[in-house]
A and B are shown apart, each in its own frame.
Chain A
């Protein structure tokens, strides 16, 4: 089975801190995604990557950046954390590149519940 591992289940940080969320997948998937999930707003895509060192903005990239130095690892960075970034953050991966293989299922980690105080 595909395993997507997020580094922390719960994280508490202070306003203004730089925050790193790490995600590792073990199935050699090309695509990796970062979402946030908030009550009433559903799942929103922050960034995705379809290859090493490649990244594309999702719907809500402001205040975030990402890094993909190795195929199996996709990091989300909150440059200067703010209280409106308190949320559940979900990492996912899938096979396929860009528009090809878009019907490959996405496999999610268990999420990181981040609180910014």
Chain B
């Protein structure tokens, strides 16, 4: 899988929007961009994924740059429960192994 780069940590205030960036300059045409998060003492949780167009779901929005070399996960109103490590990963459409590989991720801290 192609490599992604994320900041080690970010801070946000409760009820404010949060923009979590991810760089993936070597992304290939068949790579999907996936986001997962992991709360303390819990398993990873799927957040959102996309290929080219921006995506919205009940948890977050995913904004993908036109050249697809970067993307941003948007939490519209951060809550204390959103404090977690957020992982941006690329998954090839035809990855036979179907496994996930997490990098270091971004630790999001939410202040009341």
Query: Hey, which bits of chain A sit against chain B, CB under 8 A?
Result: 4, 31, 33, 35, 42-43, 45, 48, 50, 56, 58-59, 90, 92, 94, 96, 98-99, 102-103, 105-111
Contact = CB atoms under 8 A, between A and B. Distances in A.
B99 A96 contact: no
Contacts of B42: 110-111
Chain B interface SS verdict (over half): loop
27 contacts: A31-B98, A42-B103, A43-B101, A45-B97, A45-B99, A45-B100, A50-B98, A58-B99, A59-B99, A96-B98, A98-B98, A99-B94, A99-B98, A102-B91, A102-B96, A102-B98, A103-B32, A103-B93, A105-B34, A105-B46, A105-B49, A106-B44, A108-B43, A108-B45, A109-B43, A110-B42, A111-B42
The 7 closest A-B pairs by CB, nearest first: A108-B43, A105-B46, A45-B99, A99-B96, A43-B102, A42-B102, A103-B32
A23 to B, nearest CB: 11
A80 to B, nearest CB: 25
Nearest to A112: B43
Nearest to A2: B46
Contacts, number: 67
A106 B94 contact: no
Nearest to B96: A99
Contacts of B104: 42
Contacts of B98: 31, 33, 48, 50, 94, 96, 98-99, 102
Contacts of A56: 97
A42 B85 CA distance: 12
Given A42-B103, A43-B101, A106 B95 contact: no
A92 B95 contact: no
A43 B44 contact: yes
A31 B98 CA distance: 9
A48 B99 contact: yes
A50 B100 CA distance: 15
